[in-house]
Amino acid sequence: MESLSRRQLLGVLGAGTAAAGGGYWYVRGSGAPDCPEYLEPDREFWESTSDAWSEPVVDGGTVFVGGGAGIVQMSSGSRMFRLLALEPSGEPKWVARRELAGGIGRPQPTDDRVFASTGANTLLAFGRETGGLEWEFDAGGNVEGHMGVATLVRDDTVVASVTDPDHDELEGSNAVVGVSASEGELRWAVELDAPVSNGLALLEGTVVVATRAGTVIGIDPATGDRQWETDLEGAVDWGSRPVSFAGNAWLPREDGMLVAFDPERGSIRDRISSDRADDERDDETDGFVQAVRGSDEALYVGDRDGGVTAYDADGSERWRYEGPERIAALEAGADVVGALDQRGVYTELEPETGDASRAFLLVDVRGDDRCGHVPSERRFSGFATIRHRLVVTGRIAFGARTYRLPPTR
């Protein structure tokens, strides 16, 4: 295997990475952060376009990852993108390939199929066991328009968002559509006032749609009827989506305010504001992009200062872990809370206390200063754990990697 240090160094020096959306700048000197032991990946997958991948989705012992997630328009025609179905070991179970004008979003598996939105404004349905394409719903506007990253399934209806469609039954610039899961035919459409990316969730039987403008809508997935509409009084980041905890839907605004609302009626019930947010910062102001997770016990929130806070159902703070760098993603399990920061360090926290039990570096950059890159909010897409394996995906010169976690002591 080629040295990861060499790969990362070439990524720093190469012009292609900067053109793709932001390079990493090497930080020299004694101020470089102290890094834990490096964990060597045993498998790696690279995307041909900017190494952009969706967050991994684990379902029924299989990991699904979409290539090119978030890429909505190619500068020169279409490219080949892949959808990976991986065994727990990281070995491919199957790989589906499609030539598209935009990437494949976060996969949504069911018992029979795997659905995925695309940046080419098409919704794809693959066979769960074989990866063969079963049908394709084309919303039109395949170059100018695109779908959001997220896809949902309720009974026999697949839900996705579209932007700038060119379809006889779709009007306006933005909409959420319901498509037959078995045949790929359009069943209903709901027009929106702003685009949607990750802001789709199925909570308490209701499709909750969060637009970039901060409007949240509840939709009946069977009929497409609007159930309610709420204004969060603040914009929502592209990467934010509602999560469920203690009977509420929780959604982070761009300014760092976390808002709780009733998923069945839309009424706002609570707000949590980070007193650590810096209102004067106008760069990377999203406080909680992908780093909000709910469990049966607590709501876990990662912020741009590197902290992870556990909240109880009444909004009170249970504990806080003080980390050195912005949190990229969280995973909340019964035995451990996993946190990935933008240095490329994965840390395991005790769910009851927030104490760090162990940590591993996932990006070996260069020698003693291997964590010495200025972090970027786009560096990682997410991670998942399955059978003592860690599957980590990234954006912009990182790729998708699987790691074998050492046994706990």
396, 378 in Cβ contact below 8 A?
A: yes
Q: What is the pLDDT of residue 2?
A: 34
pTM of the predicted model as reported, rounded to 2 decimal places: 0.87
- pLDDT band for position 333 (cuts 50, 70, 90): confident
- Give residue 240's pLDDT band: very low, low, confident or very high (50, 70, 90): confident
Q: pLDDT higher for 34 or 241?
A: 241
pLDDT grade, residue 255 (50/70/90)? confident
User: Given pLDDT bands bounded at 50, 70 and 90, which one contains residue 93?
Assistant: very high
pLDDT tier for residue 363 given thresholds of 50, 70 and 90: confident
pLDDT value of position 136: 97
Domain 1-47+290-409: which topology? Thrombin, subunit H (2.40.10)
Strand ranges, E, within 67-203: 79-86, 92-100, 108-109, 113-117, 122-127, 133-138, 146-154, 157-163, 174-180, 186-191, 200-203
Q: What is the pLDDT of residue 310?
A: 95
Confidence band (pLDDT; 50, 70, 90) for 378? Answer: low
In this prediction, residues 239-255 reach a mean pLDDT of: 91
pLDDT-based confidence at residue 216 (cuts at 50, 70, 90): very high
Average pLDDT over residues 206-235: 95
Q: Is the pLDDT of residue 150 over 70?
A: yes
Supply the pLDDT for residue 303. 83
pLDDT computed for residue 49 by the predictor: 67
Q: Which of 178-192, 262-276, 370-384 is most confident?
A: 178-192
Summarize pLDDT for 106-135 with one digit per residue, the tens.
999 999 999 999 999 999 999 999 999 999
Report whether pLDDT(18) > 70.
no
Confidence of residue 28 (pLDDT cuts 50, 70, 90): very low
Instruction: Tokens for 74, please give them.
Output: 């190619």
Residue 398: per-residue pLDDT: 78
Question: Long-range contacts for 136-144 (Cβ within 8 Å, ≥24 apart)?
Answer: 136/184, 137/177, 137/179, 137/184, 137/185, 137/186, 138/167, 139/165, 139/166, 139/167, 139/170, 139/177, 140/165, 140/166, 140/167, 140/170, 141/165, 141/166, 141/167, 142/101, 143/73, 143/101, 144/73
Q: What is the rounded CA–CA span in Å between residue 66 and residue 367?
A: 32
